[in-house]
A and B are shown apart, each in its own frame.
Chain A
């Protein structure tokens, strides 16, 4: 089944404790992206990647890191999480042949206390 898999689905952590949210896609898509969803703000892009070893900042990159060492994986790293990073995070992938329509993962609910 074609899908984007994020882990974990839910995570509660403490301020300052480094964490990684993994994202993997099995569709051989070139594009991958991370979004966060907050009430009243919609989906905001954190980082995106056009291909392996090519990443770029989105709208709200502060406090986040990404890497794209393999085509299928695009982990999101929070080096020192803070409470304002409490949010719902989505990973997505796409390929030009799909008309740029992103396939999204099921989301990761992160709470930083």
Chain B
């Protein structure tokens, strides 16, 4: 049973606009959430994280929002750039032990 879900397999956005990637989880014990970016033929790269004591974390063009009551997190990329085109995975864990990943969303930023 998938504990972390990314319901959109793909997303296309114009360069300069906002990209919003969504992730839902089912386990209320999860207290740490991460986003990874993956290019073809490479391993995933850690992008940004958030702990359950926060509802927002920013790092440059990337912001992660956490809504604990809805068990939902999202990644906002503003402005989107062609180099952001990649597959994005969200992941969640309880106490930083076993990490559960979503199935990924393929983002295409159109120049």
Given contacts A43-B89, A90-B43, A90-B44, contact A100 B34 (CB under 8 A): yes
Contact size range, A: 20 to 34
Distance between Cα atoms of A48 and B4 in the complex (Å): 18
Q: Which residues of B contact A96 (CB under 8 A)?
A: 96
Which of B14-22, B63-71, B72-80, B101-109 participates in binding chain A?
A: B101-109
Give the top 10 A-B pairs by smallest Cβ distance, nearest first: A104-B43, A101-B46, A42-B103, A43-B101, A100-B96, A42-B101, A104-B44, A99-B49, A106-B43, A105-B43
Distance between Cα atoms of A68 and B4 in the complex (Å): 28
Residue ranges of B at the interface with A (Cβ–Cβ < 8 Å): 4, 6, 32, 34, 36, 41-46, 49, 89, 91, 93, 96-104
Tell me if A102 counts as interface (CB < 8 A to partner B).
yes
Distance between Cα atoms of A71 and B59 in the complex (Å): 31
Residue ranges of A at the interface with B (Cβ–Cβ < 8 Å): 4, 31, 33, 35, 40-45, 48, 50, 56, 58-59, 90, 92, 96, 98-107
Distance between Cα atoms of A10 and B70 in the complex (Å): 41
Contact B46 A102 (CB under 8 A): yes
Q: Which residues of A contact B6 (CB under 8 A)?
A: 42
Contact B42 A42 (CB under 8 A): no
